[in-house]
Structure 1
Amino acid sequence: MNMQDPMIAAADLARMLGAPDLRVIDATWFGPGDPRSGRAAFLASHIPGAVFFDINEIADPTTDLPHMLPDPVMFSSRMRSLGLGDGHRFVVYDQTGVFAAARVWWMLRVMGAREVLVLDGGFPAWTAGHHPVEDGAVAPQERHFSARKRAELVRDYAQMRAHVAIGNATILDARPPARFSGAENEPRPGLRRGAMPGAINTPWTEVFAPDGRMKDAAALQAVFDGAEKAPTLIATCGSGVSACVLALALARLGRRDVAVYDGSWAEWGARAESPIVMRADD
């Protein structure tokens, strides 16, 4: 596995499939308002040997915020039950391209996993290559996972308030432009419209080529327009999923130190004391 690039091509994964230390993870998740089920999609068809990782289930149970990072004890327990453990190499994918797979990639890295890649183009790229698939549930053998949290890859609300007040970080917001500007409502009810002061809108969809694969390094540099060189980079979005897509793309540019604001706009936009800028009338 080439650990310099966080992406792996479908053909390369196909050649590795069946290796005793390889574990493939289906991270399919559909956003608010989408009636589809990631688990149902997995059961209908998935890469052979894959296990299903539910970001809503493997999450902090003490908060109402969506799919927040759980503590290391809970994470280790859930990894063990999925047969994901120490000494394994991981490849994560989505049924619809690259979306929640980036979130699971980030979660695994936060919890200390070193060899984690994302399938470039996701399941569509896999099936387009006529690689094998299977259906139904799986029964993985338990494996111990030693979680060692890398706190530098996560930001909480208090830390973000400090960053915004001091202006000592470059904050990239992955939401669509209309939500970033405040022209459109958020898909989750009860959230204010707008953006964090000083944040830069970098829509997550911009990091992909028309075929659904991630853009190459030169094209990504054009997307980030120099922001990738900032000393401190933090990605945010609606609920901490597409922010991880930006972190993944920046990792392709060698920035493996990008932090993600876990609560993102689901938290920031819900709190009356959060400073917000409206750009819809700019």
Structure 2
Amino acid sequence: MTSPLMSTTELAARMNDPDLRIVDGSWHLDGRDARADFEAARIPGAVFFDLDAISDHTSDLPHMLPTAAAFAEAAGALGIAKTDTIVVYDSLGLFSAARVWWTFWVMGANRVLVLDGGLPAWRDEGRPVESGPRAAPPPATFHATFDSDAVADVPTVMAALTGDAQVVDARPAARFAGQTPEPRPGLRAGHMPGAISLPMKAVLDDTGRLKRGEALTETFQHAGVDLERPIVTTCGSGVTAAVLSLALAELGSDSRLYDGSWAEWGARSDTPVQTD
């Protein structure tokens, strides 16, 4: 089993590799300008992946996957080829980087990894950062091949809720239970009937890094997830669900991610909702 994580030590040792591409995948739920953060401090050589810009602009749902052609154009403009070693990080440690990792993986990247500990770990170790506007990198050709089996939609989730798979929800427990309102207006509160609550932070350790080994396995098992059965991950808008998908990949388990997540499910009138 190959881990989807790369350590800061390994990244530092490989900074001069010609096929290494470092990607800042920061995105903030509170609307803070992640690109401004990127220009203030980034790992040397990194490019900025804008989750909202590199998305399906024909959808009214947030940061849905773009088409393979649109993604290929965007990744190529960032100087990234499908065969590169792509290392994604974010400024929080582990949050939106997982969504960018998943997006590259869905689009056929041969080797895409998440930096363990992200930018906070890199900086805590006294490693170099750079700042200022980033010059455009030399363009590349990214031959995108969309993996539809990695993506779930409403019919997929409906079938999962009847027993085809387990639906695991990464939102905070209070949102899952319908005890607090959704951050996006117009959405019903609650969860999909039969879904399992596993808040994203539960798969992180006290330092904000992804748990490993038995500790990670026990986290899923304690929530009631059977790692031998098919799993669909979901959340508010498909970002923290990717953290669960990353955790499952670390354990060697496949999953499908519901791209529309609660932004879609909670807004529809034909999807069942349960509150606790």
Deviations 1:228-273 (A, max 9, x none): 5232111000000000000001111111x21100000000000011
Ranges of 4+ aligned residues in structure 1 off by more than 6 Å: none
Could you tell me the TM-score, scaled by structure 2's length? 0.96
* Corresponding residue of 1:154: 151
Q: Distance in 2 between matches of 1:189 and 1:121?
A: 32
Q: Distance in 1 between matches of 2:81 and 2:110?
A: 12
Deviations 1:63-115 (A, max 9, x none): 11000001100000001111011321100000111111000100011001121
How many residues get paired?
A: 273
8 A Cα contact 1:86 1:146, kept in partner: yes
What is the CA-CA distance between 1:35 and the residue it aligns to?
4.2
* Corresponding residue of 1:122: 118
What is the CA-CA distance between 1:163 and the residue it aligns to?
2.4
8 A Cα contact 1:236 1:260, kept in partner: yes
8 A Cα contact 1:46 1:133, kept in partner: yes
Alignment of 1:74-89 (within 5 A): 74-89=70-85
2:43 paired with 1:26? no
Deviations 1:19-57 (A, max 9, x none): 1000000000000xx242110000111000000000000
Alignment of 1:260-279 (within 5 A): 260-279=257-276
Of 130, 137, 140 in structure 1, the residue corresponding to residue 137 of structure 2 is: 140
What is the CA-CA distance between 1:162 and the residue it aligns to?
2.7
Unaligned runs of 5+ residues in structure 2 are: none
Evaluate the alpha carbon distance shift between residue 13 and residue 22 of structure 1 in structure 2; reply closer, same or farther with a 3 A threshold: same
Alignment of 1:99-248 (within 5 A): 99-136=95-132, 137-164=134-161, 166-225=162-221, 227-248=225-246
Q: Distance in 2 between matches of 1:218 and 1:81?
A: 40
Unaligned runs of 5+ residues in structure 1 are: none
Q: Distance in 1 between matches of 2:76 and 2:256?
A: 26
Instruction: Give the AA of the match of 1:13.
Output: L
8 A Cα contact 2:84 2:110, kept in partner: no
What is the CA-CA distance between 1:138 and the residue it aligns to?
2.7
Could you tell me the TM-score, scaled by structure 1's length? 0.94
What is the CA-CA distance between 1:129 and the residue it aligns to?
1.0
2:36 paired with 1:12? no
Q: Distance in 2 between matches of 1:162 and 1:218?
A: 30
What is the CA-CA distance between 1:12 and the residue it aligns to?
1.3
The DSSP-based 3-state class of the residue aligned with 2:194 is: coil
8 A Cα contact 2:83 2:110, kept in partner: no
Instruction: Give the AA of the match of 1:6.
Output: P
* Corresponding residue of 1:67: 63
Moved more, 239-248 or 5-14: 5-14
Q: Distance in 2 between matches of 1:187 and 1:229?
A: 30
